[in-house]
Homo-oligomer: A and B are copies of this chain.
Amino acid sequence: MAVAADDGLVEELAGLVGRPHVLAPGEDHAPYVVDWRGRYHGKALAVVKPASTAEVAAVVALCARRGIAIVPQGGNTGMCGAATPDAEGRSVVLRLDRLNRVRAVNPLANSITVEAGCILQAIQEAAAGVDRLFPLSLGAEGSCQIGGNIATNAGGTAVLRYGNTRELVLGLEVVLPDGSRLDRLQGLRKNSSGYDLKQLFIGAEGTLGVVTAATLKLFPRPRVSALAMVALPEIEAALTLLGRLRDAVGDRLTSLEAMSRGQVEVIAEHVPDVPIPFALEAPWYLLIELTDTLASTNLRTPLEEVLAAALEEGLVTDAVLAESGAQAGALWKIRHSVSEGSKRAGYVVSHDSVVPIENAPLFARNVERRILEEVPGARVVMHGHVGDGNLHVLAILDARQFPDAVTAAPVARRINAVVDDETAALGGVISAEHGIGISNRDRLGRVTDPVELLLMRRVKDLLDPTGIMNPGKVHPPGA
């Protein structure tokens, strides 16, 4: 990648977005050059905060002219370092915060058009304001930005019913690496007019262009729900329950979230204000949520019937049904505390594997056994969206022995290799919902079909021939 000197860069950027919206070297870059997990520490020539698509286009065109790399950044809540500049300090960090307008809400078309810097929660609230649901829901929703959700094709806890972010995107506005603009914001539900180019930019982590706005799907708002947490004698029971719940209520089954006993223990130990309504004697726990848009629908009876039969047969060994919204919230709080609890428990080597759902139990057993063979001292816990075959495997290491990423790197590589090999052997992929970024870029090459990998690389070279868009993400540097 050609890199020009940065003479006068700050002044040129200031000329485009206004001096108050450029952070020069020496000004406070700290919040923007380290990922939230603290794994990657980069440097930047400048941090720039444009306020409009036109300003983003102007900044990208300037960087393209000068051959300066651009690292698009939203809420900086990513799990794989996809928004962190490298340590060379030759990149500009492009913050989308100021593109935060809801451009349009259309209840008739069930769509909303938002700018990339909108906070996910603000979009959920705008949808609720017109009695609609925007279903994307994840731990960071109070601070992550939709541009980042789109760039990583984020998942979350409602994918079982509504799909990953990709399935929620009706249209995109993208600034291409040369500063030109692709406008596919029409919220059309049907379109067979040539190639669907917007798909390239969803999940591309800013390596092909900068997403500046999107038109998203809205859904009828659920008016009733039923929620239970149950203890399972083995993870296979989760799949049996999935089948029975689907037979009973169809796609009213919205969430099916599994946690291993070890995962719940980590929360009990490190997030003490979260009450756990079980004696932790079962190997797996499962959160089940049903929702419906018709207030008159009775969801509790079919849920009780399925669980009563399961208890009878020993498929479920214990069950708690939420009697109120507050109780439902308390049970969800357990699930939403996994990241915080695990982070406090030690140095976490985490994974985002997804396998064909029927292979999920074998995957869980194999990775636990093999990680413990490889690293006897590790604490292996799991949580995830078992209804989609997406189980997050966490190997928690002693923080005194492994205080940081550098110290942990060699053992982390061995753990990753075990998990990745099992994932590939069982027909899965290494990232279901977090993305590739820096964390997974080298591993992607190890486990991906060479034809597919080569085509990804050729698409990158086609759209970004000089390699200025978020270099070192998805693809290894200089690949």
Binding site for B on A (CB under 8 A): 106-110, 131, 152-155, 159-160, 163-164, 166-167, 176, 180-184, 186-197, 199-200, 202-204, 208, 219-220, 239, 242-243, 246-247, 249-252, 292-294, 297, 352, 354-358, 385, 388-390, 427-436, 440, 444, 448-449, 451-453, 455-456, 458-459, 462-463, 474
| A182-B452, A462-B459 known; A192 vs B153 contact (CB < 8 Å) | yes
18 A–B contacts from the bound complex (CB under 8 Å) = A106-B358, A108-B239, A110-B246, A155-B190, A181-B451, A182-B449, A186-B427, A188-B389, A188-B429, A190-B432, A192-B203, A192-B433, A193-B430, A195-B456, A196-B202, A220-B247, A250-B292, A252-B294
Given contacts A155-B192, A188-B356, A193-B436, 8 further A-B contacts (CB under 8 A): A155-B190, A164-B189, A189-B388, A190-B432, A192-B203, A192-B431, A195-B200, A459-B459
What is the oligomeric copy number? 2
Residues of the B chain whose Cβ atoms lie less than 8 Å from the Cβ of A440: 193
Cα A304 to Cα B134 with chains together (Å) = 29
CB of A462 within 8 A of CB of B458, answer yes
Most buried by B among A110, A208, A451: A451
A165 nearest CB neighbor, chain B only: B192
Question: A452, B196: Cβ atoms under 8 Å?
Answer: no
Assess A188 versus B354: contact at CB under 8 Å? Given A193-B431, A197-B456, A429-B193.
Answer: yes
**Cα distance A108–B239 when bound, in Å?**
8
User: Given the known A-B contacts A166-B196, A199-B200, are A191 and B459 also in contact in the complex, defined by CB atoms under 8 Å?
Assistant: no
A190-B164 contact in complex given A197-B452, A294-B250, A462-B458, C-beta closer than 8 Å: yes
CA of A166 to CA of B250 in the docked complex: distance in angstroms?
22
Looking across the interface, which residue of chain B has its beta carbon closest to that of A474? B194
Min Cβ gap A177→B in Å is 12
Task: Tell me how far the C-beta of A476 lies from the nearest C-beta in chain B, rounded to whole angstroms.
Answer: 12
B202 and A429 contact, CB distance less than 8 A: no
The answer, among B191, B208, B247, B451, for a CB contact under 8 Å with A432, is B191
Contact B190 A159, beta carbon cutoff 8 Å: yes
Select A108's contact among B192, B358, B434, beta carbons within 8 Å. B358
